[in-house]
Amino acid sequence: MKNRLEEIRKSRGIRQEELASALGVSRQTIGSLENGRYNPSILLAFKLARYFGMQIEEIFIYEEDEG
């Protein structure tokens, strides 16, 4: 799953540490999300969407496997 988290966060001038603190997660979690090494729980995805005032689908892009 891809995401636009880093792009959105930077466009609003928010540091990883600030976002992590607001969501109750570590800065490393935010970094891992942005680098695509970690997919969020549904609860964290909702928290991110609410924090930015967006829909989950505006932040996270689900791509089904072709086959």
| Total tally of structural domains belonging to the chain | 1
pLDDT tens across 21-57, in order? 999 999 999 999 999 999 999 999 999 999 999 999 9
Domain hosting 6: range is: 2-61
Q: The whole model's pTM is what?
A: 0.89
Q: Is residue 67 part of a domain?
A: no
Q: Is residue 25 part of a domain?
A: yes
Q: Is residue 24 part of a domain?
A: yes
Bridge partners (DSSP) of residue 60 are: 3
Q: Is residue 11 part of a domain?
A: yes
Tell me the C-alpha distance between 52 and 59, whole Å.
9
* Residue whose C-alpha is closest to residue 36's, from 66, 7, 12: 7
Q: What is the CATH classification number for the domain harbouring 30?
A: 1.10.260.40
